[in-house]
Amino acid sequence: MIAGQGLPADLLVDRLQTLGSQAVHKRCGSYTGLVDVYEGRANATLVHLYDQRTNSYNIPYVQRLAPGTPVMVFRLVKRWQGFVVAKGNPRSIASWGALLRDDVRLANRRRGCGSRILLDEKLIAMEADPWTVKGYESDFPTGLSAARAIADGLADVAVVGEQVAAQTDGVDFVRLQPEWLDIVAAKGGRGRELCRALREFFDDSAFRREYARIVQGDAESLGAIVYEC
pLDDT by 10-residue block (mean), the chain, 229 residues: 90 90 92 96 96 96 96 96 98 97 97 96 97 97 96 97 93 97 92 90 89 86 94
Q: Letter for the amino acid at 82? A: G
CB 58, CB 46: distance < 8 Å? no
The total of other beta-carbon atoms located within 10 Å of residue 190's CB is 13
pLDDT given for residue 101 in this prediction: 97
d(CA 122, CA 42): 29
What spatial distance separates the first Cα and last Cα of the chain, rounded to whole Å? 20
| Predicted TM-score (pTM) of this structure | 0.92
Contacts of the segment 5-12: beta carbons below 8 A, 24+ positions apart: 5/29, 5/30, 5/46, 5/113, 5/142, 6/46, 7/214, 7/215, 8/46, 8/76, 8/77, 8/181, 8/211, 8/215, 9/46, 11/211, 11/214, 11/215, 12/183, 12/198, 12/201
What sign does the CA torsion over 50, 37, 46, 143 have?
negative
Question: Residue 178 pairs with which residues in a beta bridge?
Answer: 80
In degrees, rounded to 5, the angle at the alpha carbon of residue 14 between the alpha carbons of residues 116 and 21 is: 115
Residue length, the chain?
A: 229
The total of other beta-carbon atoms located within 10 Å of residue 205's CB is 8
d(CA 55, CA 213): 28
What sign does the CA torsion over 189, 21, 57, 123 have?
negative
pLDDT given for residue 95 in this prediction: 97
pLDDT given for residue 213 in this prediction: 85
CB 217, CB 66: distance < 8 Å? no
d(CA 16, CA 21): 5
pLDDT given for residue 192 in this prediction: 86
